[in-house]
Amino acid sequence: MYDAPDQNAHVELRRQLTFRAAGGLVFLLALAQMGVVVAVALVTVLTPWTAGPAEAASILIGAAISAGLSLKALYWLWAPQPQPGGIAVPDELAPRFRRRIDRLSRRLRTPCIDQIVVTPDMNAALVCRPENGLFGRMRTFLLIGLPLIESLTPAQLAAVLVHELAHLHAQRRGLAAWAAHLRAWWLRVEDRIDGDPTPGGAVAQRLLARTMRRDIEDHLRLSRLDEFEADAWAAWHIGGRRLAGALVEVELKGRFVTENYWSKVMEQSRHRRRPSFRPYRDLQLGMQAGFVRDEALAEMNLQDDGDPDVYTHPTLHERLGSLRVGRALRDRPQSSAPTAAEHYFAPLLPTFAATFDRLWWHASKTEWRHRHRHARRRRERPGQAVAGSNTALRSPSVTPGANSRMNSVV
């Protein structure tokens, strides 16, 4: 349960991470400025007083090193948050959904959503980013996945939206949004340092190895506490049982899409050079034909799967335990209810599906054809092993990292 001690630890952890992020950014800014000052001073002040060419050359080398250090610090610092990927939906094309979002925002007293973006992921997220990447007016994007809205009823989607708005209310409002921006910025800086193959990067990696490891561990803890806080806040407004029902439905449908649907899509590559259907266009049909709720419930293990410390989200078992809801698995959604996609975005669904199918094929066709060639060779030479033919099937991703748990918010 998200009780008072958890709240105190949560606030203190958030404060510490914000101060550490701000300190790291200020240090790199000061390092960049100092490098410029030293380089300029060496060139303009000391060079005229040098006694000979050798001394002048050494001073110029020192200036070049200082300037290089400054440029390296600026390179690490320039890590703007990427633009949210997906299809930006103008308000006039989805007026019913915009009205729903605005009503929830007014009811829950959260800042308004600036932009609705539909993505190809089984996920929903709220992203706050400055208008100009690192600076400017803070804008809020609601990212909502097409598979998610195809999987939920409007009532279930409303519960998911309340959870997302809880993140905005509790963790991304006013100065808290800028604090979160600083923490995310510092993590991106550390990522750039960690991936820098130059000698300067190697030195920084050695010096910051312990700090970076500690930052990752603490941010994982913070993310889990953020989820418990958002769940508690959402449950207080709409009821724990309603929220738990939506979480269970997302888990069941998400597992089906990831482990069953996409595996069957990619399985076709063994026999066909191109898929026989379009996965996003036919997703709803695939769910209706393949998803059996009772079987999914029987297969789903609600116990903790793996070490929770390596995930940004608590497991479903932990979240239901925190909500103290025991009957959510037995609650059945209305089978006759339309999906949220049909209810809010019906005229836009063909456009969404065509766009994501095109992007998916562009990202997956190389792997698809590679699998097809290996399967064909195995059929032609059944007694011989073909290198690479045992490549495991995996769910494709339209965009790199789109299915990562680090990106998941629901």
Query: For residue 42, what are the CA distances in angstroms to 19, 51, 58, 161, 244?
Result: 34, 14, 10, 58, 65
Average pLDDT over residues 25-51: 81
Q: Count Cβ atoms below 10 Å from residue 372 Cβ, excluding itself.
A: 17
Q: For residue range 150-177, list pLDDT tens digits in order.
A: 999 999 999 999 999 999 888 888 888 8
Q: How far apart are CA 277 and CA 357, in angstroms?
A: 10
Report the C-alpha gap between 217 and 307 in whole angstroms: 13
Task: Map residue 315 onto helix, strand or coil.
Answer: coil
In one letter, which amino acid is 198? T
Say whether pLDDT at 306 is over 90. Answer: no
What is the per-residue pLDDT for 155? Answer: 92
Give the residue, 48 or 31, on which the prediction is more confident: 31
Q: Which residue has the higher pLDDT, 403 or 27?
A: 27
* CB 261 within 8 Å of CB 286: yes
Give the pLDDT confidence score for residue 404 in this predicted structure: 34
Distance CA 91, CA 112 (A): 13
pLDDT for the residue numbered 165? 94
| pLDDT surpassing 50 at residue 405 | no
CA distance 213 to 225: 19
Give the end-to-end CA distance of the chain in Å, rounded to a whole number.
18
Q: What is the pLDDT of residue 340?
A: 93
Residue 6 has pLDDT above 90, yes or no: no
Chain-centroid distance of CA 336 in Å reads 32
Comparison of pLDDT for 183 and 276, the residue scoring more: 183
How far is CA 174 from its chain centroid?
22
Q: pTM, whole model, 2 decimals? A: 0.82
How many degrees, rounded to 5, is the angle at CA 146 between CA 285 and CA 236?
A: 115
Q: How many beta carbons lie within 10 A of that of residue 330, not counting itself?
A: 9
The reported pLDDT for the residue numbered 51 is 54
**Average pLDDT of the chain, as a whole number:** 83
pLDDT at 314: 85
At 119 the three-state DSSP class reads strand
Q: Say whether pLDDT at 320 is over 90.
A: no
Instruction: With a cut of 60, say whether residue 2 has pLDDT above it.
Output: no
Average pLDDT over residues 220-247: 91
Full DSSP string of 51-63: SSHHHHHHHHHHH
What pLDDT was estimated at residue 394? 43
pLDDT(341) > 80: yes
With a cut of 90, say whether residue 263 has pLDDT above it: no
Residue 324's pLDDT band, with cuts at 50, 70 and 90, is confident
Query: Which of the 8 DSSP states describes residue 136?
Result: S
Q: With bands split at pLDDT 50, 70 and 90, how would you rate the model's confidence at 407?
A: very low
Residue 278 CB-density burial (10 A; 0-12 exposed, 13-18 middle, 19+ buried): middle
pLDDT computed for residue 230 by the predictor = 92
- pLDDT surpasses 80 at 18: yes
Mean pLDDT computed over 126-155: 88
Rounded average pLDDT over 8-33: 92
Q: What is the DSSP string of 198-231?
A: SHHHHHHHHHHHHHHHHHHHHHHHHHHHHHHHHH
Q: What is the pLDDT of residue 402?
A: 40
Q: Return the minimum-mean-pLDDT range out of 20-34, 37-51, 88-102.
A: 37-51
Question: Which residue type occupies 279?
Answer: P
Task: Summarize pLDDT for 368-397 with one digit per residue, the tens.
Answer: 888 888 888 887 776 555 454 444 444 445
